Amino acid sequence: MGEWSSFISIVRNLSLLYVTHKYVGTAAITYGPSMLPTLNITGNVLLVERISIRTGKLRPGDVVILRSPQTPRKIICKRLIGMEGDQVTYVVDPKNSDRCKTIVVPKGHVWVEGDYIYDSKDSRNFGAVPYGLLEGRAFWTLLPRKDFGSLAPKPKS
């Protein structure tokens, strides 16, 4: 009987872990230049909650984790700039000109950009992102220790 109760305990704990990861939150590792200076080029470990996506509580300025529209197996980290129906003005090619373009984010989509626009593949490259590709909202930096703390949204400019 002891082996059976151990098995049930393991299954119960694994189920709880899975549900927590899938529906409540998880940790994510980010690296690269696209979110400088908010996140480090060498990497950050972030806490990500998934509830805001399901309840529609995301707001422009939030840092989000999403599946890349270009490489669906890849998870990327960007800042949410616009929700469906928002008018977004962006610099088309920040390395070579200051020419801007304005679009209205289509229904069921969001607009995301990296904080460091000179080295970020984001909605300026692949367009508005379907809402279904969003994985969660990053809200806390765990590592590196010097950055430990809240990852506050950046106000809309």
5 labelled catalytic? no
Amino acid at 56: G
- Choosing from 9, 15, 22, 78, the catalytic residue is 78
Is 78 a residue of the active site?
yes
DSSP class of 87: E
Q: Angle 124-129-131 (CA atoms, 0-180°, nearest 5)?
A: 155
Catalytic hit among 6, 15, 34, 146 = 34
Among the listed residues 81, 13, 78, the one whose alpha carbon sits nearest the alpha carbon of residue 46: 78
Q: Which residues are catalytic?
A: 34, 78
